[in-house]
C-alpha cells in the first residue's frame, strides 16, 4: 500500500501537505469520519482523493455540480487516476460501462449527483462494490435556509444507515457555525472529527469603493491591473449582466454573460470557454460560480452589493485559488443599500427570516463602511482572528480619514423628521441644499426649518452621509414606500446632541492604488520569450486533450519551470505540480521548449 505522502508526491506532484490535509487524510484512512471546513482554494479535493487512492475500493464523491464532473474526471485521468462519473448527462450505454468498471474494481473515484446516488439502482450497485469512502462535497447544501439548499441532500443520511462501515467526509467552504451544526445533524456526523481551517485568503486583496462612475471605475481597474487576465464580474440583475458584458466587449475585452435566464446550452458553452480560454471575463449573476475550480481567476469584481458577508466571501473566494495574488473589488452606493433593504422587507418570507436577512445585510454594510482592516472584520465574522492588520486590503493600504459629522448628521436627521419620514435621499438632499425644484415648492418643503440649511455641502457629500447613516442603522428604509427613509431609535442621543457621529470621508476620485503586491508578478523581460513558449505549449496540449490549460499545468508550475529551467526529466520531476503521470505525458514537450531556449539563447 502506498502511503498518503507517496501518493501526494508521485500522483499529484506536490512536495508536501498543506495545513490539516494530512490529519484529515489519516482520519479517513483509519476508517473514521471527518467534517472539513476549509476556504475555497484551501485544498479540499486532496482530502478525499488521496484516501480513495490509498484505501482499497472506490471513493464515492457526491456533488451537486453535474456540469463540472466531466472536467473533474478528465483532470484526474490526466494524473493517471481511474475516475468516472454517474449523472443525467450520460447515455444508458455510458452508465452501464461505468457501473461495470465499478463492479470490476477498476475505479479509484466515482463522482455522482445526489439524485442519482439515491436511486435504488445506484444504492444496490454500491452494495456490491468495494467502497473506500463517501465524500459529500458542498455539504452546506443540506442547510435549508441557505441559498444553495438541495432537498436531495437531506436524504444523504441513508449512507450512514446503509453503509455504516464506510468512512464519510463532508466538506464545505461555508463557514458559519449554524451551517456546521446543521451538517452534523442532517448527515449524522456526530462522531466525525471536525477540522476547521483558518479562513484567511491572504493572497486576495480586498477593496471596497464608493460607486462614483462604476463603469469608469471598473474599466480603470481592468486596464491598470488586470489586462489579459481571467476574472468574474458579478451583477445583481440579468439585464445588467447582459448590458455589462456587451459593453466590456465593445471596450475590447473578451467578456461573456452568464445567468439563469440564458438557455442551458449557452450557459454551458460560456462556462466552458471561461475554463478553457485564457483571459475570459465572466459577467454573471450569483447563479455562476459554485464549484468552479478554475485556479487562475485573477479578480472578482462586484458591481452590486452582495446580500451578506457569507455571499461576499464565497464569491470573492473564487479568485486566486492557486495562491497567487488576486483582487476582490466591490463598488457600492446608496441605491444598493436602499434596493436591498426594500427587496428584503417586501419578500414574503417569515418575519424571523426577514429579520435574519436584514441582520446579515447590516453586517455586510458594516464591512463596507469600516475604517480599520477589512480582513480583520471578515475573519472576525467567521469567528476566526487575525492579530495584526493585514496590509493587503484597501483600508490598510490607504487608511480612510474620518471626520466629526455630528452637525450635518443632525441636520439630515431633522430634515427626515420634518418632511414626514417618507422621502428618499434625493428629495431630502434637495431640501437640505435649498433646491427650488417644482416638487419641493408644491409640497411646501421650502417653508420647512430645514430648507437650505445644508448648502455648505455638495449633493455628493450629502449622499455619502445618507449612505453611512443607513449603513450604520440611524435611518432605515420604509418597506412600503419608494425608498423613503425613517428615523430609528438609535437617532435619539444624536438628535439630543449627546452623541457625536464620526463618518468616513469618501475618496472622491478613486485613484488607482499601487497594490502592495501586484496581481501579476512580472516576468523578467529576458524570460518573456520562454514564458510565451511554455504557455503556447500548454495551450496546444490542452486543446489536444480537450481540457482547460490549467489541467495540464498551473501557472505556478510554469513559473517554477521558468525559474528553474529543468533540462532533464529528473529535474522536471522536482517541480511542484509535476507528478509521474504528467512527467510521462507532457514532460518531453516542455523539456524540448526549455532546451531549445537554453541552447539557442545562451
Ligand atoms: P478547494 O476544493 O478547497 O477549493 P482545491 O482542492 O481545488 O481547493 O485545491 C486548490 C488548489 O490547491 C488546487 O489547484 C490544488 O491542486 C492545490 N493544492 C492542494 N493541495 C496542495 C498541496 N498540498 N500542495 C500544493 N498544491 C496543493
Ligand atoms: Zn487589512
**Rounded average pLDDT over 532-536:** 93
Q: Which residues of 71-107 are buried (b: 16+ CB within 10 A; e: fewer)?
A: bbbebbbbbebbbbbbbeebeeeebeebbebbeeeeb
Domain coordinates in residue numbering, the chain:
4-196, 204-397, 402-504, 525-600
Which range has highest mean pLDDT (169-183, 345-359, 412-426, 506-520)?
412-426
Is residue 169 within 8 A of residue 36, CB to CB? The reply is yes
DSSP codes of every residue in 376-396: HHHHHHTT---SS--SSBHHH
The ligand that comes nearest to the alpha carbon of residue 400 is: 2
Which has the closest alpha carbon to 451: 418, 483, 475, 422? 418
Model pLDDT, residue 185: 94
Name the band, by pLDDT with cuts 50, 70 and 90, for residue 455.
very high
Better-predicted residue by pLDDT, 323 or 493: 493
Describe the crossing of helices 374-381 and 351-369 by its angle, rounded to 10 degrees.
150
Model pLDDT, residue 229: 93
Model pLDDT, residue 520: 54
Model pLDDT, residue 3: 95
Q: Which residues of 272-308 are buried (b: 16+ CB within 10 A; e: fewer)?
A: eebbbebebbbbbbbebbbbbbbbbbbbbbbbbbbbb
Residue 180 has pLDDT above 80, yes or no: yes
The ligand that comes nearest to the alpha carbon of residue 44 is: 1
Task: Give the distance (Å) from ligand 1 centre to CA of residue 46.
Answer: 7
The ligand that comes nearest to the alpha carbon of residue 138 is: 1
Residue 169 has pLDDT above 80, yes or no: yes
Paired with 168 in beta bridges are 134
Ligand 1 atom closest to 554 (CA)? 14
Model pLDDT, residue 278: 87
Q: What percent of the chain has pLDDT over 70?
A: 97
Q: What percent of the chain has pLDDT over 90?
A: 70
- As a dihedral over the C-alpha atoms of residue 534, residue 323, residue 2, residue 113, rounded to 10 degrees, the angle is -100
pTM assigned to the model = 0.80
**Rounded average pLDDT over 544-550:** 90
Better-predicted residue by pLDDT, 518 or 22: 22
Task: Give the distance (Å) from ligand 1 centre to CA of residue 41.
Answer: 6
Class at the top of the CATH hierarchy for domain 402-504? mainly alpha
3-state secondary structure of 284: strand
For the chain, how many residues are written?
A: 602
- Which cell goes with 386? 487575525
**CATH annotation of 204-397:** 3.40.50.300
Residue 383 has pLDDT above 80, yes or no: no
- List the 109-112 sheet strands across, edge first: 83-86, 109-112, 58-62, 131-136, 168-172, 34-37, 193-196
Ligand 1 atom closest to 15 (CA)? 24
Half-sphere exposure of 405 (CA within 13 A, CB side): 23
Residue 516 has pLDDT above 50, yes or no: no
Model pLDDT, residue 515: 46
Whether CATH 1.10.150.80 fits 525-600? yes
**Rounded average pLDDT over 346-365:** 81
Model pLDDT, residue 511: 47
Name the band, by pLDDT with cuts 50, 70 and 90, for residue 46.
very high
Name the band, by pLDDT with cuts 50, 70 and 90, for residue 116.
very high
CA–CA gap between residue 390 and residue 380 (Å, rounded): 13
Task: Give the distance (Å) from ligand 1 centre to CA of residue 40.
Answer: 9
Model pLDDT, residue 517: 45
Q: Let me know if the fold of 4-196 is the same as that of 204-397.
A: yes
Which has the closest alpha carbon to 134: 51, 17, 197, 65? 51
Mean pLDDT for all residues in the chain: 90
Which CATH architecture fits 4-196?
A: 3-Layer(aba) Sandwich (3.40)
Paired with 255 in beta bridges are 281
Pocket test for ligand 1, best of 15, 20, 46, 552 (most atoms within 8 A of CB): 46
Span of 101-105, 220-224, 477-481, 569-573 with lowest mean pLDDT: 477-481
Residue 343 has pLDDT above 80, yes or no: no
**Rounded average pLDDT over 300-326:** 92
Name the band, by pLDDT with cuts 50, 70 and 90, for residue 14.
very high
Residue 509 has pLDDT above 50, yes or no: no
Task: Give the distance (Å) from ligand 2 centre to CA of residue 390.
Answer: 4
Pocket of ligand 1 (CB under 6 A): 14, 17-18, 21, 38, 40-46, 293, 295, 321-322
* Torsion sign across C-alpha atoms 179, 184, 185, 186: positive
Model pLDDT, residue 175: 66
Amino acid at each position: 500500500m502506498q502511503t498518503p505522502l507517496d501518493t501526494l508526491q508521485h500522483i499529484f506532484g506536490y512536495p508536501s501537505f498543506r495545513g490539516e490535509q494530512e490529519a484529515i487524510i489519516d482520519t479517513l484512512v483509519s476508517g473514521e469520519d471527518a467534517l472539513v471546513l476549509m476556504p475555497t482554494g484551501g485544498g479540499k479535493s486532496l482530502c478525499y482523493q488521496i484516501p480513495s487512492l490509498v484505501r482499497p475500493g472506490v471513493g464515492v464523491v457526491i456533488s451537486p455540480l453535474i456540469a463540472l464532473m466531466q472536467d473533474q474526471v478528465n483532470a484526474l485521468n490526466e494524473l493517471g487516476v481511474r475516475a468516472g462519473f454517474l449523472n443525467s448527462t450520460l447515455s444508458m450505454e455510458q452508465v452501464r460501462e461505468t457501473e461495470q468498471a465499478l463492479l470490476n474494481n477498476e475505479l479509484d473515484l466515482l463522482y455522482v449527483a445526489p439524485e442519482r446516488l439515491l436511486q435504488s439502482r445506484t444504492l444496490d450497485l454500491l452494495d456490491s462494490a468495494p467502497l473506500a469512502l463517501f465524500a459529500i462535497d458542498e455539504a452546506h447544501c443540506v442547510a435549508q435556509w441557505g441559498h444553495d439548499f438541495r432537498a436531495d441532500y437531506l436524504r444523504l443520511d441513508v449512507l450512514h444507515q446503509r453503509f455504516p462501515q464506510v468512512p464519510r467526509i463532508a466538506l464545505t467552504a461555508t463557514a458559519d457555525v449554524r451551517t456546521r451544526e446543521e451538517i452534523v445533524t442532517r448527515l449524522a456526523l456526530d462522531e466525525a472529527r471536525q477540522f476547521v481551517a483558518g479562513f484567511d485568503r491572504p493572497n486576495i486583496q480586498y477593496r471596497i469603493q464608493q460607486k462614483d462612475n462604476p463603469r469608469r471605475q471598473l474599466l480603470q481597474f481592468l486596464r491598470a491591473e488586470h489586462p489579459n487576465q481571467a476574472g468574474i464580474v458579478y451583477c445583481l440583475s440579468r439585464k445588467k449582466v447582459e448590458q455589462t458584458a456587451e459593453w466590456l466587449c465593445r471596450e475590447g475585452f473578451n467578456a461573456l454573460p452568464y445567468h439563469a435566464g440564458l438557455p442551458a446550452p449557452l450557459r454551458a458553452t460560456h462556462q466552458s470557454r471561461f475554463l478553457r480560454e485564457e483571459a475570459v471575463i465572466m459577467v454573471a449573476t450569483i447563479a455562476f460560480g459554485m464549484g468552479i475550480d478554475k485556479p487562475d481567476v485573477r479578480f472578482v469584481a462586484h458591481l452590486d452589493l452582495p446580500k451578506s458577508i457569507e455571499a461576499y466571501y464565497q464569491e470573492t473566494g473564487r479568485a486566486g485559488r492557486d495562491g497567487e495574488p488576486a483582487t476582490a473589488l466591490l463598488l457600492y452606493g446608496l441605491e444598493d443599500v436602499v434596493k436591498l433593504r426594500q427587496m428584503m422587507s417586501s419578500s414574503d418570507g417569515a418575519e424571523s427570516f426577514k429579520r435574519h436577512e436584514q441582520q446579515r445585510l447590516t453586517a455586510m454594510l458594516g464591512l463596507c463602511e469600516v475604517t480599520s482592516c477589512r480582513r480583520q472584520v471578515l475573519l472576525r465574522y467567521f469567528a476566526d482572528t487575525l492579530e495584526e492588520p493585514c496590509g493587503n486590503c484597501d483600508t490598510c493600504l490607504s487608511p480612510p480619514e474620518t471626520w466629526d459629522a455630528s452637525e450635518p448628521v443632525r441636520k439630515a436627521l431633522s430634515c427626515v423628521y420634518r418632511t414626514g419620514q417618507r422621502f428618499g435621499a434625493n428629495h431630502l438632499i434637495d431640501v437640505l441644499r435649498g433646491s427650488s425644484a417644482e416638487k419641493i415648492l408644491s409640497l411646501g418643503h421650502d417653508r420647512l426649518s430645514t430648507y437650505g440649511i445644508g448648502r455648505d455641502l455638495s449633493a455628493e457629500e450629502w449622499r455619502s452621509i445618507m449612505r453611512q447613516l443607513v449603513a450604520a442603522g440611524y435611518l432605515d428604509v420604509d418597506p412600503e414606500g419608494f425608498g423613503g427613509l425613517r428615523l430609528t431609535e438609535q437617532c435619539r442621543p444624536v438628535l439630543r446632541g449627546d452623541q457625536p457621529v464620526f463618518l468616513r470621508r469618501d475618496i472622491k476620485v478613486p485613484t488607482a492604488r499601487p497594490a502592495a503586491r501586484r496581481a501579476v508578478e512580472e516576468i523578467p523581460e529576458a524570460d518573456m520569450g520562454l514564458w510565451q513558449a511554455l504557455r503556447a505549449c500548454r495551450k496546444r496540449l490542452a486543446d489536444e486533450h480537450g481540457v482547460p490549460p490549467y489541467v495540464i499545468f498551473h501557472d505556478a508550475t510554469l513559473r517554477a519551470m521558468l525559474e528553474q529551467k529543468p533540462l532533464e526529466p529528473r529535474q522536471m520531476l522536482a517541480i511542484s505540480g509535476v507528478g509521474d503521470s504528467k512527467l510521462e505525458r507532457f514532460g518531453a514537450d516542455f523539456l524540448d521548449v526549455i532546451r531549445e531556449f537554453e541552447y539557442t539563447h545562451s
